[in-house]
Structure 1
Amino acid sequence: MASSRALHDPHAPVTNLVLLRLLVSARLRSQLAYRGSFLSDVAGQVLLGLTEFVELYAIVHNVSSFGGMTFAQTLLVFGLASVAFALGDLLLGETDAMSETIRSGKLEVLLVRPLPVLLQLATSDFQLRRVGRLIFALAALAAALLFADITWDPGKVLLALITPLAGAAIFCALFLGAGAMQFWILDGRQFANAFTYGGRYVASMPGAALFFPIQIFFTFVIPATLVAYAPSLVILGLNGPAGIPAWTGWLGLPAAVVLSGLMLLLWRAAIKKYTGAGG
């Protein structure tokens, strides 16, 4: 109701939520104007997800178990991680290219507008084609839930519903932190990618296949294993390795809240520190 008043009454207050709706709808309309190009982009994203699945299949199909998991169980980890990453990339993937935004002087344009910089970045190049990756991820997750032979109870159902959202929040926080780091390390996009795309790679595989120090790092420092593997242990009724015990499967949501808070503080410090591109 408030958004419709803002659209028709020039004196009505315009909230950030209304502006977000207007900006995103404008981006979506422009992308849907060229249906053929849009569909080919979506197909490309689906193909990218399929390629990642084929990579997983090539690793797992020749062995009876991978990291103590069957193929169907490994597919559950892959599906949960892929859905979480696809959502995070859709929402805040643009912050990954912060160094280019700073060098081009585009950040100055964003700073003088009466809108939060993060909101503008999230909508500046909103790519609906990324939905293709999400579509494939949801299909992989549905197949895993069907074939993984899960004995359901209310707790597992709740965890299965929360896990993709908590994982998406973790990836959003990682993207935000990656963008913030590029204020200090201007050519640090590849360094930042080690935490975002590296985190995605770790999240999509059984954590028991990792060396113990890596298990600890990607559970309690960068919580990549909490995105999918640790919750999968609870859902499947499995025991985890020494570095990722099964009880960590319930830590995804708290980790997402803590990490998001820390990365927002880092982002605010980066914006406050910024003094201009020097152009």
Structure 2
Amino acid sequence: MGEALAAYVAISRLWIRSSLEYPVSFAMMTVGSVLSTGIDFVGIWVMFSHLTTYGGFDLREMGFLYGTSQLAIGFADLVVGNVERIGMQIRLGRLDTMMTKPVPLIVQICADQFALRRVARIVQGSAVLAWAAWGVDWTPARIAVLVLMLTSGAAIFVGLFVSFSCVQFWTSDASELGNAFTYGGASLLEYPLTVFPRRVALGLTFVLPIAFANWYPSLYILGRHDTSGLPHWLELASPVAAGVTVVVTAAVWRLGVRHYTSTGS
């Protein structure tokens, strides 16, 4: 594990140094990313110019949901987001070359063309979360749940990124399928699940555990109650959901790699 992490850092540093060779371009792309990712919250802000609550949540509470969802997917996107390019690597024959190197395949794919500008989503989400956090009555328990929520949420999205990218071992290109569940799932988490049908909440809990990335722990931190009738202990179950997701992801990745057959190039 230590050697794999060192290899990931070494490869990423090469791409970071490359991007920083053009500081003006890097700065413009980063600022553009911050502005583009912030459009969603601007929409929420505008919506509250006509509302006082949405699904029982006020603007600061919505900001809390938005900030935590952006941080969860932001960390995952920064670290493993490039795995969705695996289909292109297969078509170009680059995956064959990667498999001959003494570095884990997943490390090479995720670190390849590491894009530091993706930190823009984390910066923007952190700013909104910091603003929303002023409305929370913080206790040591709630701080601990926040830390677990952010780490577990990132792990859940890492699992989703890798798992859905593995579909490309069987198809020529299915990156958009994965995006529907990763970026699409994060967009769902920007809003209270109380505004969706109960079957949606059940699906995001027991089928695709995205709700554990921020919804359930946010209920605990904000002192709210889930109106869907699900047990309250789910509010503290994010680490369990993250652990299950990682185990399933590891199994799916191994299956995909075993299934892969060379392009012959």
TM-score computed with the length of structure 1 as normaliser: 0.90
Cα–Cα, structure 1 residues 151 and 15, in superposed 2: closer, same or farther, change >3 Å?
closer
Query: What letter is aligned with 1:32?
Result: L
> Residues of 1 paired with 2:66 and 2:230: CA distance?
17
Task: Classify the secondary structure of the residue corresponding to 1:224.
Answer: helix
2:33 matched to 1:54?
A: no
> Residues of 1 paired with 2:50 and 2:123: CA distance?
27
Task: Note if contact 1:203-1:226 (Cα within 8 Å) is conserved in structure 2.
Answer: no
Question: 1:264 deviation in Å?
Answer: 1.1
Task: Note if contact 2:74-2:119 (Cα within 8 Å) is conserved in structure 1.
Answer: yes
Query: What letter is aligned with 1:159?
Result: V
What residue is the counterpart of 2:225 in the other structure? 239
> Residues of 1 paired with 2:152 and 2:9: CA distance?
23
> Residues of 2 paired with 1:130 and 1:243: CA distance?
37
Q: For residues 122-147 of structure 1, give each alpha carbon's deviation from its aligned partner in whole angstroms, at most 9, with x where no partner exists.
A: 1101101111111111101100101x
What residue is the counterpart of 1:110 in the other structure? 98
C-alpha RMSD of matched pairs (Å): 1.6
What residue is the counterpart of 2:14 in the other structure? 26
Task: Note if contact 1:87-1:134 (Cα within 8 Å) is conserved in structure 2.
Answer: yes
Task: Note if contact 2:12-2:113 (Cα within 8 Å) is conserved in structure 1.
Answer: no
Cα–Cα, structure 1 residues 241 and 101, in superposed 2: closer, same or farther, change >3 Å?
farther
2:237 matched to 1:251?
A: yes
Larger Rg computed on CA atoms = 1
Task: Classify the secondary structure of the residue corresponding to 1:182.
Answer: helix
The runs of 5 or more residues in structure 2 that have no matched partner are none
Query: What letter is aligned with 2:117?
Result: R
> Residues of 1 paired with 2:120 and 2:157: CA distance?
18
> Residues of 2 paired with 1:94 and 1:21: CA distance?
14
- Show the 5 A alignment for 1:127-276: 127-146=115-134, 148=135, 150-242=136-228, 245-276=231-262
Task: Note if contact 2:86-2:109 (Cα within 8 Å) is conserved in structure 1.
Answer: no
2:25 matched to 1:37?
A: yes
> Residues of 2 paired with 1:16 and 1:98: CA distance?
19
Q: For residues 79-138 of structure 1, give each alpha carbon's deviation from its aligned partner in whole angstroms, at most 9, with x where no partner exists.
A: 000011110000111112222221121211111111111000111011011111111111
Identity, % of aligned pairs? 30
> Residues of 2 paired with 1:153 and 1:18: CA distance?
36
Task: Note if contact 1:90-1:131 (Cα within 8 Å) is conserved in structure 2.
Answer: yes
Question: 1:243 deviation in Å?
Answer: 5.5
Q: How many residues align?
A: 264
Question: 1:246 deviation in Å?
Answer: 4.0
